[in-house]
Structure 1
Amino acid sequence: MSGNFVLYGGQGTGAVAVEAALVLAGQAYELVDVPDAQTLGRLLPQMRQVPRLILPDGQAMTESEAILIRLAELLPHAGLAPAIDDPARGQFLRWMSFVATQVYAHFWLKDDPSRLVPDASLHSQVSRRIEARITDCWAVMERETTGFAAAGPWILGQGPTVLDAYVAVVSRFRPRRRRFYAAAPRLGEAVRRLDADPRLSRLWDERYPFFDGWEDD
Structure 2
Amino acid sequence: MTYTLYGAPGSGSAPVEAALTLIGAPYTVIEALTWEGDDQRDKVAAVNPMRQIPALITPAGETITESAAILIWLAEQHPEAALAPEPGDPRRAQFLRWMSFIPASIYSMFWVRDVPSRLGGEDVASQVRISTLTADRIADCWAVMDSQINPGRWLLGDELTVLDLYVAVV
Q: Fold conserved (TM > 0.5)?
A: yes
Cα RMSD of the aligned pairs, angstroms, is 1.3
TM-score normalised to structure 2 length = 0.91
**Is the CA contact 2:4–2:27 (under 8 Å) kept in the aligned structure 1?**
yes
CA contact (8 A) 2:8 2:31 kept: yes
**Counterpart among 14, 17, 22 of residue 16 in structure 1:** 14
Where does structure 1 lack aligned partners over 5 or more consecutive residues? Answer: 171-217
d(CA) in 1 for partners of 2:40, 2:87: 35
Where do 1:111-122 residues align within 5 Å?
A: 111-121=114-124, 122=126
The aligned counterpart of 2:82 is: 79
- CA drift of 1:116 comes to 1.6
Q: TM-score, normalised by structure 1?
A: 0.72
Question: Residue in 2 aligned with 1:48?
Answer: 51
Equivalent residue pairs, number: 164
- Distance in 2 of aligned mates of 1:72 and 1:25: 8
Q: Which residue of 1 aligns with 2:111?
A: 108
Deviation at 1:134, TM superposition (A): 0.7
> Match of 1:158?
158
Alignment of 1:118-129 (within 5 A): 118-121=121-124, 122-129=126-133
1:91 counterpart residue number? 94
Note if contact 1:40-1:49 (Cα within 8 Å) is conserved in structure 2.
no
- What is the DSSP-based 3-state SS (H/G/I as helix, E as strand, rest coil) of the residue aligned with 2:4? strand
Percentage of identical aligned residues: 47
Q: Deviations over 1:160-203 (max 9, x none)?
A: 10000000000xxxxxxxxxxxxxxxxxxxxxxxxxxxxxxxxx
- 1:169 paired residue number: 169
Gaps of 5+ in 2: none
